[in-house]
């Protein structure tokens, strides 16, 4: 914290530093320097004292030397000329008989980070490599990496690289590991240090001599090694077995990571390795350091994706301690949800029930939604708990319960009776907008079964004027409309009032437009209205699936032991902040991608069946990372411009590809946006923008990320942006010109095209980076969705 009067303090310090009396008294001199460093670390700018500090550098007192170096290294970049003065002292120190002084000088010489001093530094560095003291060699080796990074484009001195390679055989393990680290940096362009058989075996043999940190770095570098035979591979694996169950989590994690890299083709071996690390990982979960606990939990979540049964017997280890921070509790609950089975479900629910009344609202809500997720498989037990919680009449609990029930009903429609029966009276306790939105959705969809629904709704409509949340307003409109369809006598009056208020007085355009839309819709007749509003009540396809299919290990192997699993916001927790199930980026579709995509592929059209002769590897789609509409627009337009520049000619080497295709699906443009969105999301395709049904030209924008494993086993990700365009009867659109020139057929051809156009939807896809296989796969999936939608609405 910079304090006031920093300048005065600096002046005061300068006076003290240049006072000959102070300089002659070692203790006072050192204390003054201490004060300088203290100010520096508090954030005061003491760079003005550089000259004085340079003088203080020439001393026999090692402590003082070290302090001055801390200062000099921080400010050298600001005073390159003055730093030249230090070099002499440093070079002299490099000759000192005391190895500690030598290593100190050498380290700080390179820490000054001044390219102008390089010429003075190289010579002592070269001698440093051959110093008899290991601590000097350690510093010198890393020093070369620093030097190289100071002038990254310079020629690499081959003799230095050779020297470093030979120092890999240094008796001191730290020198050896530092060589590895330095070579990795110096040879970055060439892909790092050469990992050949002799080096690998040398490193493996000396692994035991290194400390934890050295072992981790060695294991990481070895990931690049490709064993030449199976025998060699198994020799390496058995050599590393002890590290796999190391009590030090870093070594354990690095070893497992290496295992997964070495044998991606041997699922049995990887699986056995995962089982071996179960013990150490569980121990890390119980570590005294909560950060370590959290890290271990996040990685266990990764493992469970491939081996759901891995931790089944140890579910009690994931019970929350009562003093644990909320973020650990939430991860533990996510793990618990994965571990549920017939034997432990009673115990688990009992435990989770205890968390629902936690004083921390985030924990309580997470526990409630965890119970909801278990409810997908054990609905009766969970509903009993959930309805019991409603009795507490606490706003945050009721809100979470209602949202959980909404999500549960969407998946398991058989729960609807219990849910409907428990909804009465909830509106009194609900405070937040998400909870009320969820309640409204339930009332709209199951209005005929909740006897008090119209009265509840009336309270909402009367309070419309003071309603602040846009989401609630929109949901209220839809609910009122839906309720009107099933209970017209009771709701007609209030619907009229609501529409009148929204159209005449509401200032928010969104709400007003929605109200106008409904108003006009009602003019079209009750049957039309019903057709539009009567969306699906549930997604039965989701209900039958209990538990998620096991993913191949390769899906997550590359993110194991990286920061990724820790910074990922877990999908399950997001339920609290979303709208209705129809327009939800549901985490369910994530879990379903594996099997659903396969289903679709089996019934796709002929064209793709041809290409499947060579059995394309499985393609998985994912809507995350999410793309904002602005981002989408930017990418789309940028690509479009590029495409236009390039003209019609196609060059194969582009990093992105554009594809236009026509799909016959006449009914799709007449589907409701909700059903299209729901269908797309089931397959992890995210829709971004719609034109309303029945308008021309009709457009939908969508995107997804594809990931699939190539024949060379490298997973590849691409981003696909897409547009569906339906021009309809409006034949004057000149879209087709380019195409006709290409076919160069005449007028008759044009007519032919037009005839088809009427029923075809034009699909434009843009992909980056280019991956034809994935694009083809995606197109076939998209085609089948569109076909399915067509057949449904017919």
Using DSSP, state whether 726 is helix, strand or coil.
strand
- Within 543-602, which residues bind other proteins (CB under 8 A)? 561-567, 569, 573
Does residue 113 bind other proteins (CB under 8 A)?
yes
Shortest Å, Cβ 449 to other proteins? 24
- 357 is an interface residue for other proteins by CB under 8 A: yes
- Within 421-440, the residues that bind other proteins by CB under 8 A are none
Contacts with other proteins in 654-693 (CB under 8 A)? none
The CB-of-791 to other proteins minimum distance in angstroms stands at: 43
Exactly one of 340, 352, 366, 597 binds other proteins (CB under 8 A); which one? 366
According to the binding rule CB under 8 A, does residue 38 interact with other proteins? yes
- Which DSSP helix (H) or strand (E) runs through 111? helix 99-111
Q: Taking CB under 8 A as the rule, does residue 4 contact other proteins?
A: no
Binding segment toward other proteins, per CB under 8 A, in 59-67, 125-133, 437-445, 471-479 = 59-67
Integer angstrom CA distances of residue 329 from 294, 299, 310, 660: 9, 15, 20, 49
- 142 vs 494 by CB, closer to other proteins: 142
Q: Taking CB under 8 A as the criterion, which residues in 71-100 touch other proteins? A: 74, 100
Task: Tell the smallest beta-carbon distance from residue 196 to other proteins (Å).
Answer: 22
Closest distance of CB 472 from other proteins, Å: 22
> Measured from the CB atom, is 248 or 662 closer to other proteins?
248
Of 96, 217, 384, 513, the one binding other proteins (CB under 8 A) is: 217
Q: Of 38 and 130, which has the nearer Cβ to other proteins?
A: 38
Site string for other proteins, 731-760 (x = CB under 8 A): ------------------------------
The minimum distance between CB 405 and other proteins, in angstroms, equals 18
Question: Could you tell me which residues come within 8 angstroms of residue 435 by beta carbon, excluding any fewer than 6 positions away?
Answer: 395, 398, 399, 400, 402, 403
Q: Answer whether 599's CB lies under 8 Å from 577's CB.
A: no
Comparing CB distances to other proteins, the nearer of 254 and 464 is 254
**Three-state DSSP state, 715:** strand
Which listed residue (11, 25, 34, 689) binds other proteins by CB under 8 A? 34
Nearest distance, CB of residue 178 and other proteins, angstroms: 7
Residue found by looking up tokens 């879990």 in the block: 591
Q: 295 to 354, contacts with other proteins by CB under 8 A?
A: 295, 298, 314, 316-317, 319-324, 326-327, 330-331, 347, 350-351, 354
Using the minimum distance from each CB to other proteins, give the nearer residue, 144 or 698.
Answer: 144
The dihedral built from the CA positions of residue 614, 618, 621 and 625, taken in this order, carries a sign that is negative
Helical H runs in 356-394? 361-375, 379-390
Q: Which CB atom, from 98 or from 791, has the smaller least distance to other proteins?
A: 98
Among 47, 394, 555, 640, binds other proteins (CB under 8 A): 394
Taking the least distance from each CB to other proteins, the nearer of 297 and 782 is 297
- 334 vs 491, which CB is nearer to other proteins? 334
What is the smallest separation between the CB atom of 339 and other proteins, expressed in angstroms?
Answer: 14
Q: Which residue is it, tokens 């309640």?
A: 439
Which helix (H) or strand (E) covers residue 768, if one does? strand 760-768
Q: How far is the CB of 330 from other proteins (least distance, A)?
A: 6
- What the block records as the tokens of 557 is 């192997």
Compute CA distances 218 → 60, 173, 201, 373, whole Å. Answer: 38, 11, 11, 42
Q: Closest Cα to residue 177, out of 198, 152, 202, 154?
A: 202
What does the block give as tokens for 136?
């000097």
> Which tokens sit at 3?
């304090």
Q: Which DSSP state fits 770? A: -
Give, in order, the Cα–Cα distances in Å from 646 to each of 541, 575, 658.
Answer: 44, 44, 11
CB atoms within 10 A of CB 218: 22
Q: What is d(CA 427, CA 406) in angstroms, rounded to the nearest whole number? A: 14
Q: Which is nearer to other proteins, 607 or 717 (CB)?
A: 717
The pair phi, psi for residue 539, each rounded to 5°, is -115, 85
Q: Which is nearer to other proteins, 576 or 775 (CB)?
A: 576
List binders of other proteins among 129-168 (CB under 8 A): 135, 138-139, 142, 145-146
- Residue carrying structure tokens 């278990």: 374
> Residue 116 has which token pair?
């102008």
State in angstroms the smallest separation of the CB of 392 from other proteins: 5
Closer Cβ to other proteins, 457 or 576, answer by number = 576
Least distance to other proteins, CB of residue 548, Å: 22
Residues 372-391 that bind other proteins (CB under 8 A): 388-389, 391
Q: Is 370 exposed, middle or buried (0-12, 13-18, 19+ CB in 10 A)?
A: buried
- Kindly state whether residue 624 participates in binding other proteins, applying the rule CB under 8 A: no
Scanning residues 275 to 304, which ones bind other proteins (CB under 8 A)? 279-280, 283-284, 286, 288-289, 291-292, 294-295, 298
Q: How many residues bind other proteins (CB under 8 A)?
A: 93
Smaller CB distance to other proteins: residue 74 or 793?
74
> What is the closest distance, in whole angstroms, from the C-beta atom of residue 675 to other proteins in the complex?
33
Q: Which is nearer to other proteins, 261 or 473 (CB)?
A: 261
Is the alpha carbon torsion for 523, 528, 534, 536 positive or negative?
negative
Q: Which residues inside 462-521 make contact with other proteins, applying CB under 8 A? A: none
Residue (140 or 779) nearer to other proteins, CB:
140
Site residues (CB under 8 A) for other proteins, limited to 223-282: 245-250, 252-254, 257, 279-280
CA angle 65, 67, 73 (to 5 degrees): 95
The least distance separating other proteins from the CB of residue 601, rounded to whole angstroms, comes to 34
Least distance from other proteins to the Cβ atom of residue 708, Å: 23
337 close to 572: Cβ distance less than 8 angstroms: yes
- State the DSSP string of 43-105: T---GGGHHHHHHHTS-S-HHHHHHHHHHHHHHGGG-HHHHHHHHHHHHHHTT-SSHHHHHHH
Peptide bond into 291 cis (omega under 30): no
201/314 with CB nearer other proteins: 314
Which of 359, 468, 544, 613 forms a contact with other proteins (CB under 8 A)?
359
Backbone angles phi, psi at 628, to 5 degrees: -80, 155
DSSP class of residue 687 equals E
Q: Quick count: other Cβ atoms within 10 Å of Cβ 346?
A: 11
Cβ atoms of 369 and 575 within 8 Å: the answer is yes
Cα-based torsion angle of the residue sequence 321, 326, 330, 336 in order, rounded to the nearest 10 degrees: 10
Q: Smallest gap, in angstroms, from Cβ of residue 9 to other proteins?
A: 16
Q: Which residue from 139, 229, 232, 225 is spatially nearest to 181, judged by alpha carbons?
A: 139
Q: Which of 17, 67, 244, 553 binds other proteins (CB under 8 A)?
A: 67
Find the shortest distance in angstroms from Cβ 199 to other proteins.
19
317 versus 776: smaller Cβ distance to other proteins? 317
Smallest distance, other proteins to C-beta of residue 291, A: 5
Is 145 or 430 the residue whose CB approaches other proteins more closely?
A: 145
Beta bridge partner(s), residue 160: none
Backbone φ and ψ of 549, nearest 5°: -70, 145
Report the distance separating Cα 494 and Cα 463, nearest Å.
12
Taking a C-beta distance cutoff of 8 angstroms, is the pair 70, 112 a contact? Answer: no
| Binders in 178-207 for other proteins, by CB under 8 A | 178, 181
Least distance (Å) between residue 623 CB and other proteins:
21
Q: How far is the CB of 365 from other proteins (least distance, A)?
A: 8
Q: Which is nearer to other proteins, 21 or 577 (CB)?
A: 577
């Amino acid at each position: 914290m910079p304090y006031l009067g920093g300048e005065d303090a600096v002046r005061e310090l300068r006076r003290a530093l240049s006072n000959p009396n102070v300089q002659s008294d070692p203790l006072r001199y050192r204390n003054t320097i201490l004060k300088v460093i203290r100010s520096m670390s508090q954030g005061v700018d003491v760079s003005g004292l550089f000259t004085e500090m340079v003088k203080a550098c020439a001393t026999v007192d090692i402590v003082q030397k070290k302090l001055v170096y801390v200062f000099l290294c921080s400010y050298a970049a600001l005073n390159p000329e003055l730093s030249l003065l230090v070099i002499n002292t440093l070079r002299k120190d490099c000759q000192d008989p005391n190895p500690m002084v030598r290593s100190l000088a050498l380290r700080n010489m390179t820490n000054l980070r001044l390219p102008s001093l390089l010429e003075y530094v190289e010579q002592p560095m070269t001698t440093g490599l051959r110093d008899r003291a290991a601590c000097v060699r350690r510093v010198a080796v890393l020093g070369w990496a620093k030097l190289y990074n100071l002038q990254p484009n310079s020629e690499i001195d081959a003799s230095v690289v050779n020297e470093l390679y030979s120092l890999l055989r240094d008796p001191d393990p730290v020198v050896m590991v530092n060589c590895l680290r330095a070579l990795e940096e110096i040879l970055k362009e060439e892909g790092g240090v050469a990992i050949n058989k002799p080096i690998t075996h040398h490193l493996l043999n000396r692994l035991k001599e290194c400390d934890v940190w050295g072992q981790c770095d060695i294991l990481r570098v070895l990931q690049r090694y490709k064993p030449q035979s199976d025998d060699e591979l198994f020799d390496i694996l058995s050599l590393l077995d002890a590290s796999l169950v190391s009590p030090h989590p870093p070594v354990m994690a690095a070893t497992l990571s290496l295992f997964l890299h070495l044998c991606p083709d041997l699922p049995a071996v990887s699986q056995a390795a995962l089982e071996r690390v179960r013990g150490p990982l569980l121990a890390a979960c119980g570590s005294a350091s909560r950060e370590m606990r959290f890290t271990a939990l996040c990685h266990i979540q990764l493992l469970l994706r491939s081996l759901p049964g891995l931790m089944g017997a140890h579910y009690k280890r994931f019970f929350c301690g009562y003093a644990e921070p909320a973020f650990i509790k939430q991860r533990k609950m996510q793990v618990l949800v994965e571990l549920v089975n017939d034997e432990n479900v009673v115990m688990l629910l009992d435990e989770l029930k205890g968390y629902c009344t936690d004083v921390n609202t985030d924990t309580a809500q997470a526990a409630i939604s965890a119970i909801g997720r278990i409810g997908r498989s054990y609905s009766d037990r969970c509903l009993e708990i959930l309805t019991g919680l409603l009795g507490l009449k606490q706003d945050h609990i009721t809100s979470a319960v209602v949202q959980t029930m909404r999500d549960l009903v969407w998946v398991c429609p058989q729960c609807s009776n219990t849910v409907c029966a428990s909804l009465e009276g909830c509106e009194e306790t609900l405070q937040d907008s998400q909870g009320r939105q969820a309640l409204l959705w339930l009332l709209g969809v199951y209005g005929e079964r909740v006897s008090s629904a119209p009265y509840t709704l009336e309270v909402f409509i009367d309070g419309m004027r003071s309603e602040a949340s846009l989401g609630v307003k929109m949901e209220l409109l839809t609910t009122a409309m839906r309720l009107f369809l099933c209970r017209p006598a009771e709701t007609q009056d209030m619907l009229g009032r609501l529409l009148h208020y929204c159209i005449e007085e509401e200032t928010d355009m969104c709400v007003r437009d929605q109200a106008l839309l409904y108003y006009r819709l009602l003019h079209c007749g009750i049957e039309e209205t019903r057709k539009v509003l009567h969306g699906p009540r549930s997604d039965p396809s989701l209900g039958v699936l209990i538990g998620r299919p096991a993913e191949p290990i390769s899906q997550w192997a590359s993110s194991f032991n990286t920061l990724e699993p820790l910074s990922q916001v877990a999908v399950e927790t997001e339920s609290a902040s979303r709208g209705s199930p129809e327009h939800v980026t549901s985490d369910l579709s994530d879990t379903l991608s594996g099997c659903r995509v396969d289903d679709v592929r089996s019934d796709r059209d002929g064209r793709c069946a041809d290409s499947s002769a060579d059995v394309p590897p499985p393609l998985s789609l994912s809507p995350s990372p999410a793309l904002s509409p602005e981002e989408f627009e930017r990418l789309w337009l940028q690509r479009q411009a590029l495409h236009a520049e390039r003209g019609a000619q196609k060059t194969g080497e582009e990093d992105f590809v554009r594809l236009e295709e026509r799909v016959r699906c006449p009914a799709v443009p007449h589907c409701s946006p909700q059903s299209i969105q729901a269908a797309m999301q089931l397959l992890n395709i995210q829709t971004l923008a719609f034109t309303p049904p029945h308008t021309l030209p009709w457009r939908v924008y969508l995107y997804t990320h594809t990931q699939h494993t190539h024949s060379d086993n490298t997973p590849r990700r691409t981003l696909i942006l897409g547009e569906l365009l339906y021009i309809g009867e409006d034949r004057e659109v000149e879209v087709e010109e380019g195409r006709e020139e290409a076919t160069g057929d005449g007028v008759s051809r044009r007519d032919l095209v037009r005839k088809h156009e009427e029923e075809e939807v034009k699909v434009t896809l843009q992909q980056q980076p280019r991956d034809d296989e994935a694009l083809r796969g995606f197109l076939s999936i998209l085609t089948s969705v569109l076909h399915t939608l067509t057949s449904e609405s017919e």
